[in-house]
Structure formats: structure tokens, C-alpha cells
Chain A
Amino acid sequence: MNKKKISRRTLLGGAATAAVVLFKSSYGKMIQAAIPESALLTDDPTKIQGPPPGKVGTRSPFEHPVKKPSDISSRTPLQDLYGTITPSDLHYERHHGGVPAIDPHQYELLIHGMVDKPMVFTLADLKRFPSVSRICFLECSGNFRGSKETLMPQEVCGLTSQSEWTGVMLSTLFREVGVQPKASWFLAEGSDAAVMTRSIPVKKAWDDAMVVYAQNGEAIRPEQGYPARLLLPGWEGNTSVKWLRRIELSDQPYMTREETSKYTYPVKDRIRQFSFGMDARSIITYPAFPQQVEKGWIEIRGIAWSGWGKIAKVEISTDNGKSWHPARLQEPVLDKAHTAFRYLWQWDGNTTAIMSRATDETGYTQPTLQQLIAARGADMGGYHLNPVTAWVIQRDGKVLFRPEKWK
């Protein structure tokens, strides 16, 4: 942002001229980049004509939700979102060889192995098949951080996002190629520099797997697998292989690196492999660090989700876990989908901790970290951790994450 002191008259005059010139020659996005925020402020917006309609809409220049990238992933700003659809450009990213550039006209999906008819489908072919749209979440299985007080929801568990996906049911394609009865697993392979592979039980294909080419009404973003990806609702995100180029049917798993040395975790004296379903979980996204709240009425807000079905209930504690009360769930509650919850609370100004815990329709209730340790041992690693988390509200209204050490 331009922090230089400019007189208001210069700023408004110059900005107005710049806006007109840019609008004549380019898209709206350039205007957003070209004009300082303050230039858009007038004393009275009813007294000046705004820019004309454009080809592509823009986010208000006053809004700056951003992902938080590391070397290997980028986290969705859960605390900045409303409702349950993640704007496509804020969808989390995790990839193993960067984002590949793929020409949709050259794109092909090969399906072979234990099939009657090995076949190749172009992107146009995929779009000709009967299509389906579905809203569901994706979540990386390594999605918990809790080491310090100054963590935002984005940093605690921002490797989850939700979109409306459109594509073809994988069962439709499997029917077309004639998957043989003895095929029990398939390999899904991406065309990124990691040529990412995972082995998937064929049953998932008959249940609800899709090959999707659209996200929230438009083509999938490159970061999410353009031009087409596998989508396995409710399963650890890594299995929904992006930039999907090949599916091979087999009668056994392939034991790829991403299902042996990675995406596995110690459970007591063994290593658990092929943990597909994401267990029920929730996070309060307001109030949360780094917000500061005032005494009085607070609507506690957040999202809950389960890879095993619908969220049945979310409970809230405002007294550090001593008592729990049901939150309101936003309808419609969808299968394997982020579900918004709300709980109206009157804060008396005393220090306390607020928590949420989700229960899904299978009867599974989100555990505490101690319960996870009891089930898996203290060396349980970082995958498939979905503990109840707490936000501490201090007397001054500042909100801090409450870290829990387990090693």
C-alpha cells in the first residue's frame, strides 16, 4: 500500500483520471492494483459516477484475505470467510512438485489395466458425459498446528477448504471402460513434476468418486488441478489426485511413496497405512486470535465437518469445557461438507476459554488431544489429528490459541 502523504485533492484528482484510462484499455483487476485504497474514498459516493460495468469482477480493494504459504502448502484464511464456500483463489494448496501448466487442448486421461477397453478421454470427452455437481470439503491429512498462542484459525487448520465441484462420476467412466470384477484397487496419477500417485480401493469409485473439471462455477484453478482432478469426498486430500492423467486398475495397491513413507503414522508399536476418511472436526473462527472482543453479546462462529457423513451436532463450551451447549447449524447440512455453526453468548468480561466439538451422523465425537494420545500413543505423528481446540479470552478481550504439548 502507498503510505506516502498525499494531499487529498491531488489524490482524488489523479486517481479519477487513472481509473478512466485503465478502464478503457484493461480489466478491472488492473484498476484495483493501480489505485491506492484511499483514492476510492470520496466524501459522498452518491455525488460521483462510479466505474462502468467490467468483464471480470474484483474483490473490494478494502478486503485482503490471503492464503498463508509455506514452501510446500498454502493455508485458507478460515477466519476471514463467511458461510461455507471457499473463494476459489483462497482454496488451500498442497502439492509435491509445484503447479504444472497444462494445455486443456492437449489434456488426456488414460484409463487402463484390468479393464475390458483401455481408453483415452480428452477434456471435451469428459465434459460430454452426464455431469454432477457436489459441494464437499477437501482437507489435507496433515492439518493441525498447535504449538503457540499466536495462531490464527488459518494456521491451526487452514489446510481445508470447500467448493462446489462439477464433473463426471468416476463410476460412469469405469462403466465405459468395463472395469473387470477382479479389480480391487486403482492407481491415480497426476501430471505434475511429482507425477503424484495414490492407490485407491475401487469401492470408492462406485460410492462417490468423481473426475471434476469445474470449481465454484468455473474451470478448476491451476492450483486445484486444472484441467481435471480426481475428487474423493471425505478422504484425505492427497488422494484426490490433481492434474489427473492416468488411472490403472489392479488387484492390489501399488504401495507408492505417498502411502508408505508419507501419509502414514505411528499408532503405538505399528504404523497405520491407508487412513482415508477424515474424522469429524470443528474450529471456532470467531472469536479467535488475533481478534480482540468486547464484553457483551458475541456470536461464536465456526465450521464443522466430517469425512464420514453429515455433521449431527456441534457443541460449544464457554467455560473451558465444564459445560457444553448445542450450537445452531446452518441448513442445509450436507454430506462430507463444511457446516457453519453459530452460538450466541454473553461474555461477562472474565477470563475464560471457548471450545467447539463436532459429532457426525456415525456417532463419532471430535476427541481431545489427550484422547488421541490415549488411542495412538505419544509418538502419533502429525497426520489425521482433529483435536478439540480452545481459544482463551483474556480480561482485556484479547483472544489467544491455547497450545497443548504432547511430546
Chain B
Amino acid sequence: MAALKILLVDDSETILQMEQMILAKEPYELLVARDGAEGVARALEDNPDLILMDVVMPRMGGFEALRQLRGNQRTSTVPVVMVTTKAEADSIETGYASGCNDYIVKPIDSIELIAKLRDLLGD
């Protein structure tokens, strides 16, 4: 059985590396995109089972990317977890309005992230 695919969308190499480190021992195939536009393109191409989406990114931010994903039949139901900062508290409501399923706040806690992913992907 093929591993579940998680698409990590973030413009920060540090965050991407952290997410990959946390998930290294989990049975997921990890894909990477470095802004919202690339995230949408990769989602359409690779059909991930879940997307971890940063909010503030160049070229296309997380909310616009999320809206595009929800507007495309192929990606309308893929689970999306927004990765926010505490400074973006007001934006969490926007995230839900844009169609996210849940959110996680930086700095990312490994236990929390793994628990959320297992819950959303079925363990």
C-alpha cells in the first residue's frame, strides 16, 4: 500500500526542515512547495492526502492558495491544516472561511502535529 502523501507548503526553509524532521519517522511521503502557487500546482499534480499550509508567503499566500484548492474539484476536499503564528490570530478565522480544516501555531510542537495528522489521516 502506497504511503500517504503530505504536502508541506512554506517559504521558510527552517520551517520546512523542522516539519520534515518531525515527520521523518512517520509513514508519510513528504512533498514540498515553497509558496502558495507552487503548493496549488503540486497539489493538482501529486494529489496529496493532506496539506500543511503556511499563511504568509510570497507570490501567493496560504489563504489564496486554499481558496484555489477548494475551488478545484480535484482538491476541494483535501484536508488542509494552516500553520500560523501567534501574531496571525485574527487570520485564523479567515483560514476557516477560506476552507481550512484545522490550524496549528508556530513554533510547531511535534506531539501536537503528529496527533493532528494521525487524527486527520486515520491512524
Tell me whether A and B are bound partners: no
